[in-house]
Chain A
């Protein structure tokens, strides 16, 4: 069996079983004593690690490399799905300060995480072209409002406080992508050789062109299947073109999504079609992302110790910096205690997309180390968030 067939077999079986498990998830969860729990992806990453080259090697390295175009498509799809939600008119309907406060809190999170991680890394003998502190500082910003929303749903809660928290989480995701857009080209320019300005310019240009094509093609009324085809074509086109030029498909499609969200009259229908395929795309994507982790490289030069240490430090610093950020905001003029709950939110799917995006562009061992650190941090943050959120949601009621 060739590597591609193997990969198709495994992924199809996994997704098939996943669909059945999803149907009976409540029953399965109740067997283990969990009430409406949602792991939002850990299970798929772990499955990927287990089946990947480092586990049972059912997903071989050759097969994974052959799936790079699928990664590019997945990243593009996720970027677009997230940003299509960012209709600035909707933000205007929110209390005007909310956006500003979130921006301040995100800047504080970014700054504190950057300083603390930099201080820690200065103590370690790390020679790297890659600015870990800067990258991890950006990665600290996204929250996982979906985890909070799911938890609230599980407990049957719909309080105003929780709704505001979810909104704040969405704003955090938005700012994280903006920060990522500005910083990612700077970080990768040293490795890929594509200059910062060129990288940024290409991302905007391809995003703009794709949005223009999508908007023009969706002006006439289209059937759902046609809209699906157009979206697939545009995401394939944008992510393929950007990956070919060595720039991030995630960023390009995020730019496209943001522009479409604020310029297209068919925004809602486009968002609906994108979201319909979001779950399987994400499912597929997380398993492959888990498979990408090359654990054997962690044996070299105490890398396992290093990455685990950085991951734990990152989770801790993220929590601390987010707390300081929202505490500061509440002192400035938003005496809303709910904001202080935000630090407890887990890292989101956007975080994983960003990690894989970096891994695709940075082919060196450092890309792998950062991926491993990020995955570990993601798992830690999710486990931590589950315990704390359960308590917070119950209290908010």
Chain B
């Protein structure tokens, strides 16, 4: 009740500001940051009454106030607020790296590798073949020649493999989940992030070959990517060393120092063609596994991460393209269902092969549903590389991302509770 009245008040003011012409609109992002931060956070809390993860509440708040529904946040404002994206992703990656404990990973290594191989293979081949078989029914592929249909099928396959590491890590963090399923999902998520980038690079080169038959396989793109990954991991390890030094020797204003470092990484990694996500994962991993400061490190980040997380997911929600979903909803839902089925088969097979944990076998797939930035980035690259049909394919992929990003956190929460890996089960046990 105490939360409801201020939220209504905030909403009324924001609606008033939207309708009235304000003289200094350059300050609008400051105002909207405050509005979205408060409303999304409390909607997230409100959602927990209906057994929704808080992240779903933040995303739904973004959808609600975004340009497709209440239009309190226009496209221009969302673009201006996106400044927070890089910082949030890098912070989440730092937490992910910090949560990766070598001992736990070693115990699960066989399962992680097995699930990774089976899931990637089954989802990629399964989706690609299905699209190829039913290409006459899909509006994107209906009038395309066979070689282009193959390219589209491959692209849909690779984008289906990709998932949102940010959402997975945020859910694990929200429920303070620990256990075999959490370790497996975390390990596979991080490795998959690298594998997907590599597959995408290969697929891009193959597709160019198929689209322009005279062209030979372009290995430089792949080589560059491998170098970028290697460099990101090495620099990340160095950054981890710097964090250890700071936490051991300097110790003042740890949160400020970590936030600034992450801000720098998020801002400058793309300029040097480095992967900020991998860089931060490596840094977090080094601090956790090669020093005594792991706990202190994670606590310092967690103390300041909440506002960034809320804004990140709310803005991501506001940026979801509902128009694309309304236009292609039947195909998007079909794609999502297929992906769910193949993900389940991949995870189940991967665990069965190595005789892994039963709970993971049953519920592990729930951790691989959410999709966001990585997939969206791929869709944009496809559109740029193949302008003739790329735009239509991008719309379909975005429609599927919208569904996956909404159902992903809910499913993963369900999986974690069923596997009894959330903090409340640890308390009772």
Could you tell me which A residues sit within 8 Å of B by CB distance?
Answer: 1, 4-5, 8-9, 12, 15-16, 19-20, 22-23, 68-69, 72-73, 209, 212-213, 216-217, 219-220, 224-226, 228-230, 232-241, 243-246, 279-280
| B23 surroundings in chain A (CB, below 8 A) | 244-246
A-facing mask of B28-51, CB < 8 A → 1, else 0?
A: 111111110110011000000000
Count of residues in B whose CB is under 8 Å from the partner chain: 46
- With A216-B6, A225-B302 known as contacts, the answer to whether A240 contacts B30 (CB < 8 A) is yes
- With A8-B264, A12-B260 known as contacts, the answer to whether A19 contacts B6 (CB < 8 A) is no
Can you report 8 residue pairs joining A to B where beta carbons are below 8 Å apart?
Answer: A16-B260, A68-B26, A72-B27, A212-B6, A217-B3, A228-B304, A233-B34, A237-B34
For residue A89, give the distance in angstroms from its CB to the closest CB of chain B. 24
Contact check: which of A217, A226, A243 meets B6 at CB < 8 Å? A217
Contact check: which of A9, A23, A241 meets B31 at CB < 8 Å? A241
Compute how far the CA of A68 lies from the CA of B29 in the bound complex, rounded to whole angstroms. 10
> 7 tightest CB-CB pairs across the interface, nearest first?
A240-B31, A237-B34, A236-B34, A240-B30, A243-B27, A233-B38, A69-B30
Q: Which of A212, A235, A244, A280 is the most central at the interface, judged by chain B CB atoms within 10 Å of its CB?
A: A244
A-facing mask of B239-279, CB < 8 A → 1, else 0?
A: 00000000000111100110011011001100100000000
Which chain A residue lies CB-closest to B260? A12
Are A229 and B264 touching (Cβ within 8 A)? Answer: no
Q: Which of B9, B17, B260, B261 is the most central at the interface, judged by chain A CB atoms within 10 Å of its CB?
A: B260
* B222 is an interface residue with CB less than 8 A from chain A: no
* B220 is an interface residue with CB less than 8 A from chain A: no
Are A229 and B263 touching (Cβ within 8 A)? Answer: no
Compute how far the CA of A177 lies from the CA of B268 in the bound complex, rounded to whole angstroms. 40
User: Given A216-B5, A220-B2, A232-B37, 4 more contacts at CB 8 Å?
Assistant: A12-B261, A226-B306, A235-B34, A243-B31
* B307 is an interface residue with CB less than 8 A from chain A: yes
* B209 is an interface residue with CB less than 8 A from chain A: no
Are A19 and B253 touching (Cβ within 8 A)? Answer: yes
Which chain A residue lies CB-closest to B5? A216
| B41 surroundings in chain A (CB, below 8 A) | 226, 229-230, 233
Total A-B Cβ pairs within 8 A: 137
| B268 surroundings in chain A (CB, below 8 A) | 5, 9
A-facing mask of B286-317, CB < 8 A → 1, else 0?
A: 00000000000000001110110010000000
| A280 surroundings in chain B (CB, below 8 A) | 253, 256
| B31 surroundings in chain A (CB, below 8 A) | 236-237, 240-241, 243-244
Contact check: which of B27, B33, B252 meets A244 at CB < 8 Å? B27
Could you tell me which B residues sit within 8 Å of A by CB distance?
Answer: 2-3, 5-6, 9-10, 13, 17, 22-35, 37-38, 41-42, 83, 250-253, 256-257, 260-261, 263-264, 267-268, 271, 302-304, 306-307, 310
For residue A230, give the distance in angstroms from its CB to the closest CB of chain B. 7
| B302 surroundings in chain A (CB, below 8 A) | 225
Compute how far the CA of A224 lies from the CA of B255 in the bound complex, rounded to whole angstroms. 14
Compute how far the CA of A244 lies from the CA of B310 in the bound complex, rounded to whole angstroms. 24
Contact check: which of B22, B29, B34 meets A245 at CB < 8 Å? B22
Which chain B residue lies CB-closest to A192? B23
Which chain A residue lies CB-closest to B41? A229
For residue B327, give the distance in angstroms from its CB to the closest CB of chain A. 34
Are A245 and B303 touching (Cβ within 8 A)? Answer: no
Are B27 and A224 touching (Cβ within 8 A)? Answer: no
- With A19-B250, A23-B250, A220-B2 known as contacts, the answer to whether A8 contacts B307 (CB < 8 A) is no
Q: Which of A9, A226, A236 is the most central at the interface, judged by chain B CB atoms within 10 Å of its CB?
A: A236
Contact check: which of B27, B253, B310 meets A69 at CB < 8 Å? B27
Compute how far the CA of A24 lies from the CA of B3 in the bound complex, rounded to whole angstroms. 44
Compute how far the CA of A225 lies from the CA of B30 in the bound complex, rounded to whole angstroms. 20
Compute how far the CA of A219 lies from the CA of B2 in the bound complex, rounded to whole angstroms. 7
Compute how far the CA of A219 lies from the CA of B42 in the bound complex, rounded to whole angstroms. 14
Which chain A residue lies CB-closest to B310? A229
Compute how far the CA of A238 lies from the CA of B256 in the bound complex, rounded to whole angstroms. 24
Are A233 and B37 touching (Cβ within 8 A)? Answer: yes
Are B264 and A217 touching (Cβ within 8 A)? Answer: no
Compute how far the CA of A42 lies from the CA of B23 in the bound complex, rounded to whole angstroms. 34
Compute how far the CA of A8 lies from the CA of B262 in the bound complex, rounded to whole angstroms. 11
| A235 surroundings in chain B (CB, below 8 A) | 34
Compute how far the CA of A211 lies from the CA of B2 in the bound complex, rounded to whole angstroms. 14
